Amino acid sequence: MRVLVVEDDVETARVVAGFLRRARMAVDVAFDGGAGFELAMVNDYDVVVLDRDLPGMHGDEMCAELVAAGRRGRILMLTAAGSSEDLVEGLGVGADDYLAKPFDLPVLQARVGALARRAHPAVPPVLRHGDLVVDTARREASRGGRALPLRPKEFGVLELLMAAQGRVVSAEELFERVWDEAADPFSGTVKVTVSRLRAKLGEPPVIRTVAGGYRI
């Protein structure tokens, strides 16, 4: 799952990004509306966590522009004002959800996870393939009842392959959806991560390498 956090308060942005990363999400951060808009137009985010009162480009304007451009990612708008009028205005410009500050980080994580599931064709929050189970809400995976000690990127790859429901997922799509902007696209990181993930999943193998990429 890949998330963009657009928040001009540097400390808030870093706290939110750090919490979501610990929940095995890939997170990019922008500190003003213009920079956030550029990232959102270039990358394929599942969710954009968008502060409403941003310098450069107001959150309402950014939200409306992203919706008009047909971007797939869902938008969770943050604001210091939590009145009904603010809620109506935020949803009116195209936000999918609205969260007033201050907020609990676990609540934010739950909202982001729920929105991410809506950004794709409908899939259940708990994904299963034989004895392999991926709980996308709790960010946990197990096989044969045994918890799998997956790193964030390993979990992200497994989550995306399971959600594809047998569809072939290319290495390029995995990189785009699981890694953040700091990753080197020429490092072979996808191949290495898939190899580690296969080892942790054990036998019999569930990830197949096929023409065009990987699939469960």
Helix, strand or coil, per DSSP, at residue 205: coil
Backbone angles phi, psi at 194, to 5 degrees: -60, -40
Instruction: Say how many C-beta atoms besides its own lie within 10 A of residue 185's C-beta.
Output: 12
pLDDT tens digits along 13-43? 999 999 999 998 999 999 999 999 999 998 8
- Look at residue 123 and tell me whether its pLDDT is greater than 90: no
pLDDT tens digits along 52-96? 889 989 999 999 999 888 887 899 998 876 556 666 665 677 888
Catalogue all structural domains in the chain, each as residue range(s) with its CATH number.
Answer: 2-118 (3.40.50.2300), 126-215 (1.10.10.10)
pLDDT tens digits along 135-177? 988 889 999 999 999 999 999 999 999 988 889 999 998 998 8
Helix, strand or coil, per DSSP, at residue 69: coil
Q: CA-to-CA distance for 64 and 69, rounded, in angstroms? A: 9
Q: Which two three-digit tokens encode residue 206?
A: 């569930």
Instruction: Say how many C-beta atoms besides its own lie within 10 A of residue 105's C-beta.
Output: 14
